[in-house]
Protein backbone atom coordinates (compact mmCIF):
# COMPACT_ATOMS: atom_id res chain seq x y z
CA UNK A 1 0.00 0.00 0.00
CA UNK A 2 2.83 2.41 0.86
CA UNK A 3 4.43 1.76 -2.52
CA UNK A 4 1.17 2.61 -4.26
CA UNK A 5 0.86 5.86 -2.32
CA UNK A 6 4.44 6.83 -3.22
CA UNK A 7 3.75 6.13 -6.90
CA UNK A 8 0.51 8.09 -6.71
CA UNK A 9 2.25 11.04 -5.05
CA UNK A 10 5.01 11.01 -7.69
CA UNK A 11 2.39 10.86 -10.45
CA UNK A 12 0.50 13.81 -9.02
CA UNK A 13 3.75 15.78 -8.64
CA UNK A 14 4.65 15.02 -12.27
CA UNK A 15 1.24 16.17 -13.50
CA UNK A 16 1.51 19.40 -11.51
CA UNK A 17 4.96 20.11 -13.01
CA UNK A 18 3.69 19.43 -16.52
CA UNK A 19 0.63 21.64 -16.03
CA UNK A 20 2.81 24.44 -14.60
CA UNK A 21 5.22 24.08 -17.55
CA UNK A 22 2.34 24.22 -20.04
CA UNK A 23 0.95 27.33 -18.37
CA UNK A 24 4.39 28.98 -18.43
CA UNK A 25 4.84 28.04 -22.10
CA UNK A 26 1.44 29.48 -23.02
CA UNK A 27 2.19 32.68 -21.14
CA UNK A 28 5.61 33.07 -22.75
CA UNK A 29 4.39 32.17 -26.25
CA UNK A 30 0.98 33.73 -26.93
CA UNK A 31 -0.58 32.88 -30.29
CA UNK A 32 0.76 34.88 -33.24
CA UNK A 33 -0.29 34.98 -36.88
CA UNK A 34 1.86 33.85 -39.79
CA UNK A 35 2.47 37.51 -40.65
CA UNK A 36 3.74 38.24 -37.12
CA UNK A 37 5.83 35.06 -37.17
CA UNK A 38 7.50 36.11 -40.42
CA UNK A 39 8.01 39.67 -39.15
CA UNK A 40 9.97 38.22 -36.21
CA UNK A 41 12.18 36.03 -38.43
CA UNK A 42 15.68 37.12 -39.38
CA UNK A 43 15.94 39.17 -42.58
CA UNK A 44 16.36 37.00 -45.65
CA UNK A 45 14.34 34.09 -44.23
CA UNK A 46 12.40 32.25 -46.92
CA UNK A 47 8.74 32.63 -45.85
CA UNK A 48 7.59 29.34 -47.39
CA UNK A 49 10.34 27.38 -45.65
CA UNK A 50 9.84 29.18 -42.33
CA UNK A 51 6.11 28.45 -42.25
CA UNK A 52 6.64 24.84 -43.31
CA UNK A 53 9.16 24.36 -40.50
CA UNK A 54 6.72 26.02 -38.10
CA UNK A 55 4.03 23.50 -39.09
CA UNK A 56 6.41 20.53 -38.75
CA UNK A 57 7.59 21.66 -35.31
CA UNK A 58 4.02 22.21 -34.10
CA UNK A 59 2.92 18.79 -35.35
CA UNK A 60 5.97 16.94 -34.02
CA UNK A 61 5.81 18.45 -30.53
CA UNK A 62 1.97 18.52 -30.40
CA UNK A 63 1.97 22.27 -29.75
CA UNK A 64 -0.56 24.75 -31.10
CA UNK A 65 0.76 26.05 -34.43
CA UNK A 66 0.12 29.68 -33.46
CA UNK A 67 2.29 29.31 -30.34
CA UNK A 68 5.44 28.41 -32.28
CA UNK A 69 7.60 31.55 -32.48
CA UNK A 70 10.89 32.01 -34.32
CA UNK A 71 12.71 32.12 -30.98
CA UNK A 72 11.11 28.96 -29.57
CA UNK A 73 13.88 26.70 -28.27
CA UNK A 74 13.65 22.96 -28.94
CA UNK A 75 15.39 22.12 -25.67
CA UNK A 76 14.35 24.91 -23.29
CA UNK A 77 10.77 25.44 -24.45
CA UNK A 78 9.70 22.17 -26.09
CA UNK A 79 11.63 19.71 -23.92
CA UNK A 80 13.62 18.04 -26.70
CA UNK A 81 16.93 16.45 -25.73
Banded model confidence at residue 20, pLDDT cuts 50, 70, 90: low
What's the confidence (pLDDT) of residue 18? 47
pLDDT (tens digit per residue) in 22-65: 778 888 889 999 999 999 999 999 999 999 999 999 998 888 99
pLDDT (tens digit per residue) in 2-15: 554 444 334 433 43
Distance, CA of 65 to CA of 46 (rounded, Å): 18
Average pLDDT over residues 56-76: 90
* Rounded (to 5) percent helix, strand, coil in the chain: 65, 0, 35
C-alpha pair distances (Å), 51 with each of 3, 6, 9, 63 = 48, 45, 41, 15
What's the confidence (pLDDT) of residue 12? 38
Amino acid sequence: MAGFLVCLALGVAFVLVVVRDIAAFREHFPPISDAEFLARCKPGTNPEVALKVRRIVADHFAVEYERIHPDTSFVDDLGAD
